[in-house]
Structure 1
Amino acid sequence: MRVLLAVYDADNYIHSFPQGLAYVAAVLRREGHEVEVYSQDQHHYPDSHLTKFLDKNKFDVIGVSIIAGYYQYRKLLSISEAINKSRHRPFYIIGGHGPAPEPEFFLEKTGADVVVIGEGEITAVRLLKALESRKPFDKIKGIAYRKGDKVVINERQPLVSDIDTLPFPAYDLFPMEYYRLMRMPHVTNSDFVMPLLSGRGCTFRCTFCYRMDKGFRPRSNESIIEEI
């Protein structure tokens, strides 16, 4: 399938690399899907540009990942409007820790077809397989979706227990020069700074944190060094 992953305009002097989308892009490409990235963040395109882009380029699926915050929510609404206006509107998936806790709300407000809840790599692969084969979504873990007038929330997808099984992020699909983080706070003596995943989760249980899962899953030193 032809997949477009859209990076919203963060309107921030800190250029944060969308690591989650890069991992999803990598696993989808490994499964044989054609993946492209639309970077509104780099080019600061107006939302109408996305509508025109989708009108000119047909995609089967579009995915947007969003964090929790008022600006991000407003941005998601405007991007969703642009997607829904397209003459060739793709199947629309949203994910990230913004919509995950309240999937019913975000499905209603955005008009998206599916909300991915939790880590997206395994779920995205299984969701696209179901779309390709036109199978129902009832057995796909980690999603919420509309079924008629109802919202169905499936059981959670177990976490990726071995981070080393994931392919490296699809760096080549993203404008890496833009994400070198020269403007990252307190980084003044390096011309290339990038985030690198060393593990997922946390050993603490802070009640104010958005994190939904317990425990820490480290990545092997060998895998980290290989990626570097």
Structure 2
Amino acid sequence: MKILLIDPPFYRFFNYYNRYFPLGLSYLSSTLKKAGYEVVVYDADCNKNSKGMDYTRLPEKYRIYLKELKNPKNPIIQEISETIKKYRPDIIGITIMTPKAASAFTIASLAKQHNKECHVIVGGPHATLRSDEVLKNTRDVDFVVNGEGESVLLELVNTLRAKRNNFGAIRGLSYRQGDTHIHNPMQSFVDNLDGLPFPDRKTLLGMDTYTSEDMGLLMGSRGCPYSCSYCATQIWTRRVRYRSLANIVEEIKYVRLHFGTRQFTFKDDSFTVNRKRVLEFCDSLLEAGLKINWDCNTRVDLIDLELLKAMKRAGCNSIKVGIESGSERILALMDKGITLEHIHEAARLFREAGIHWTAYFMMGIPTETREDVKKNFGFII
């Protein structure tokens, strides 16, 4: 069976720069290929001719995105249609983040236009949290994979290949039975992350559009123990699962060898949540003699000077932290678990350690007032 995994376009409609490759889809690809399936990953949001990324204009440009999805002559829509036509997949899998939902539904429709027998499967955070809504919104979607997709998708593909209809036995699957939506119990999380093959970067369409740095996207863990009210990672039940340090170092060596990557990016939700492990990781990098740089995400209350200095010695050259708001009231509303004092102290530590850092802010939180927004700007300045 031929399988086409697609990351739907969104930023590309605005000519925005969109970095890296679809990590989640690449994990699915490697799992399916290991089982003998022919798989291609198509990053339809990859933009060869980007002109910037002014996120302040996204709300007004969102209407353009919705309008262009209905325009069959839009070059992005035409490219997607031609890719499906050329590849002729038996199965199309689409990952959905909430802003990309409309785009994903358009792709599902295109898939059915080209081949009514093509099985359309969706997954990702939005699909997991809104599986019933997805099935209700479009009949072009046949199945929803909820939660971690590797084992669920593989079992579904095996079932489709065998032409069996025992979908009720597949945990983590949502589907239709006539006019009824069936939601099976969730599948257990993958405990042994080392048992998963490395994400398959070589099945990406348009490899020439990616830089060596784009190929350096990694995850050393899955899950987050915190419960920020705005965050979809709560679907992982606040439990963190880790790859072994040896497994991570092995992937770094592989990516550096095959793609020449020297700058790596860790997309763990809170990289320094386990302080002892991070120190051991830094030692592992130094012992391996890997002269690389890397960056990560973490929280302002999960750092200290000794840790930051160790990370810098091991090649860490940038850290992103979620501040989200300069208003104590909004921080409390978000269940963020940090204070403005935590943030000021973190800024001081970053400066003392000599590590470049950037901050995430959010605006438009329910009940946020003009005064709260002014506090954001004041805090940034």
TM-score, normalised via structure 2 length: 0.53
Structure 2: distance between partners of 1:192 and 1:102: 33
Matched, 1:213 2:213: no
Structure 1: distance between partners of 2:87 and 2:39: 13
Query: What is the number of residues matched between the two proteins?
Result: 216
1:160-199 deviation digits (Å, cap 9, x = unpaired): 001100000001012455344xxxxxxxxxx725221110
Structure 1: distance between partners of 2:231 and 2:168: 30
Matched, 1:78 2:106: yes
User: What is the match of residue 145 of structure 1?
Assistant: 175
1:8-28 deviation digits (Å, cap 9, x = unpaired): 223231324211000000000
Structure 2: distance between partners of 1:87 and 1:141: 27
User: What is the match of residue 187 of structure 1?
Assistant: none
Aligned 8 A contact 1:50 1:83 in 2? no
Q: Gapped runs of 5+ residues in structure 2?
A: 49-74, 253-381
User: What is the match of residue 339 of structure 2?
Assistant: none
User: What is the match of residue 59 of structure 1?
Assistant: 89
Aligned 8 A contact 2:26 2:41 in 1? no
Question: What SS does the aligned partner of 2:98 have?
Answer: coil
Q: After the TM superposition, list the runs of 4 or more consecutive aligned residues in structure 1 that deviate by more than 6 angstroms.
A: none
User: What is the match of residue 9 of structure 1?
Assistant: 9
Matched, 1:192 2:213: yes
Structure 2: distance between partners of 1:59 and 1:86: 10
Aligned 8 A contact 1:52 1:86 in 2? no
Q: Gapped runs of 5+ residues in structure 1?
A: 181-190
Quote the offset at 1:43 in angstroms: 5.8
Structure 2: distance between partners of 1:10 and 1:36: 20
Match of 2:149 among 108, 116, 120: 120
Matched, 1:202 2:224: yes
Aligned 8 A contact 2:17 2:47 in 1? no
Aligned 8 A contact 2:18 2:47 in 1? no
Give 1:48's aligned amino acid.
Q
Matched, 1:227 2:227: no
Instruction: Tell which deviates more after alignment, 83-92 or 157-166.
Output: 83-92
Aligned 8 A contact 2:22 2:43 in 1? no
From the superposition, tell whether residues 5 and 217 of structure 1 become closer, same or farther in structure 2 (CA, over 3 Å). Answer: same
Q: Once the two structures are aligned, what percentage of the paired residues are identical?
A: 31
Comparing both chains, which one has the higher relative contact order based on Cα–Cα distances under 8 Å and sequence gaps of 6 or more? 1
Match of 1:90 among 102, 110, 118: 118
Quote the offset at 1:119 in angstroms: 0.3
Quote the offset at 1:6 in angstroms: 1.5
Matched, 1:31 2:71: no
Quote the offset at 1:113 in angstroms: 0.3
Aligned 8 A contact 1:114 1:143 in 2? yes
From the superposition, tell whether residues 173 and 56 of structure 1 become closer, same or farther in structure 2 (CA, over 3 Å). Answer: closer
1:101-146 deviation digits (Å, cap 9, x = unpaired): 1112112223200001000000011001111112220100111001
Structure 1: distance between partners of 2:207 and 2:86: 25
From the superposition, tell whether residues 17 and 55 of structure 1 become closer, same or farther in structure 2 (CA, over 3 Å). Answer: closer
Structure with the largest fraction of helix: 2
Aligned 8 A contact 1:15 1:178 in 2? no
Considering only aligned residues, what root-mean-square deviation do their CA atoms show, in Å? 1.9
Aligned 8 A contact 1:26 1:167 in 2? yes
Quote the offset at 1:89 in angstroms: 4.9
Give 1:113's aligned amino acid.
D
